[in-house]
Amino acid sequence: MKRKAFCLLLILSFLILPEAAADGDYIKWVDFDVSCNAMERALLLEQQYREQDRVVNWIDILALAATRYGSGKFPVSQVDKAAKELTGDRSPQEFLGNQYKYYQYYQEAYGAVLRGLVGTYAIQKQDGTWETYYGVKAFSPIAAGYWYSHYDDFGVSRSYGFQRRHLGNDLMGSLGTPIVAVEGGTVEALGWNQYGGWRVGIRSFDNQRYYYYAHLRKDTPYAPGLEVGDTVQAGDVIGFMGRTGYSTKENVNNIEVVHLHFGLQLIFDESQKECNSEIWVDVYDIVNFLEQHRSSVRFNEETKVWERIYPYRDLG
């Protein structure tokens, strides 16, 4: 209990609680350390309860588990307990008491990270009709059928340019592997960056998540015609894996190993977009969570464009 209380106090020393938001404040720090297994279990429970016409949200389940445990490193057993509480007769305000404000924080913080990953979507069938589904609607950044490997390297030291922490997850693979948009949104950045090489930045439609894809292929880094301001859907091809970067000169391969740097920045206020206190979260477990949902794509020889095999619509 002492360890949990310490963790909770540590969290509170870094974040702005929800009740302060009414005064114009906003969350300034998020440590996302929920495991892939916990996310999978929470989503499974949500879907099972939906089949019983009982409403519970997977993000709320994770938020309650973190509240009870004092951090996001809770075991999967805590997910089941949280779901049971949330589907009981009492509201969270009633059974949490003074802890309710921490639950609100985790709801907002985890919602900012995960909100775009699950929802309703439709896939077009061969006969031209659309079939609707509810579940994981985001995609792994690596297209289906392509090999990759990765490990949790978030926070590892980097020295090019200046000493800093690695603020993403490196996915090693083959040169030219199609890279797809994890979530739909608007292309906000496109071009050369000395640290990321050829890179793409995509803002989610709710403006709260900024997805960063870097070290794309030399000479032909992007899907043809991709431009700043374009709208992309989850699973659309946006570029190709490479090893560009670490150079002030454009189109240079100064990265030793072919890989995708995939990062996720949270934005609770526009002042956080480019500043010294940006919120980047560890996406290692998110990549694992999305591993089984990969976009099937192909190269159209007639149009010379990469396209999805299954047309897709995000329905919210």
Q: Output the 3-class SS for 113-177.
A: HHCCCEEEEEEECCCCCEEEEEEECCCCCECCCCCEECCCCCCCEECCCCCEECCCEEEEECCCC
Per-residue model confidence as pLDDT tens digits over 193-214: 999 999 999 999 999 999 999 9
260-287: average pLDDT: 95
Write down the pLDDT at residue 304: 86
pLDDT score at 2:
37
- pLDDT of residue 87 exceeding 90: yes
Identify the residue with better confidence: 256 or 126: 256
**How far is the CA of 81 from the CAs of 61, 67, 72, 87, 207, in angstroms?**
9, 12, 15, 10, 32
Report the pLDDT value the prediction gives residue 163, as an integer from 0 to 100: 66
In the predicted model, is pLDDT for residue 260 greater than 50? yes
Q: Among 169, 146, 172, which Cα is nearest to 156's? A: 169
Give the model's pLDDT for residue 15.
47
CB 246 within 8 A of CB 194: yes
pLDDT band at 161 (very low <50, low <70, confident <90, very high): low
Query: What pLDDT was estimated at residue 246?
Result: 95
Residue 224 corresponds to which tokens in the numbers above?
């043809």
What average pLDDT score do residues 14-30 get? 61
What six digits make up the tokens of 313?
Answer: 């619509």
pLDDT band at 92, cuts 50/70/90?
Answer: very high
Q: Residues near 51 by Cβ (< 8 Å), separated by ≥ 6? A: none
Identify the structural domains of the chain with CATH numbers, from first to last.
2-114 (no CATH), 148-314 (2.70.70.10)
Q: Whole-number mean pLDDT of the chain?
A: 91
pLDDT at 12: 40
> With 80 as the cut, is the pLDDT of residue 166 above it?
yes
For the residues 289-309, what does the mean pLDDT come to?
Answer: 93
Q: Could you tell me the two tokens for 12?
A: 């509170």
Mean pLDDT for 266-282 is 93
pLDDT recorded at residue 126: 87
pTM listed for this prediction: 0.91
Give residue 212's pLDDT. Answer: 98
Lowest mean pLDDT among 8-22, 167-181, 265-279: 8-22
Q: Tokens representing 40?
A: 């999978």
Mind giving me the DSSP string for 159-226? -SSS-EE--SEEEEE-TT-EEE-SS-EEEEEEEEETTTEEEEEEEETTS-EEEEEESBPSS--B-TT-
Q: How many CB atoms lie within 10 A of CB 140?
A: 25
pLDDT value for 158: 78
* Interval 46-78: pLDDT, tens: 999 988 888 899 999 999 999 999 999 999 999
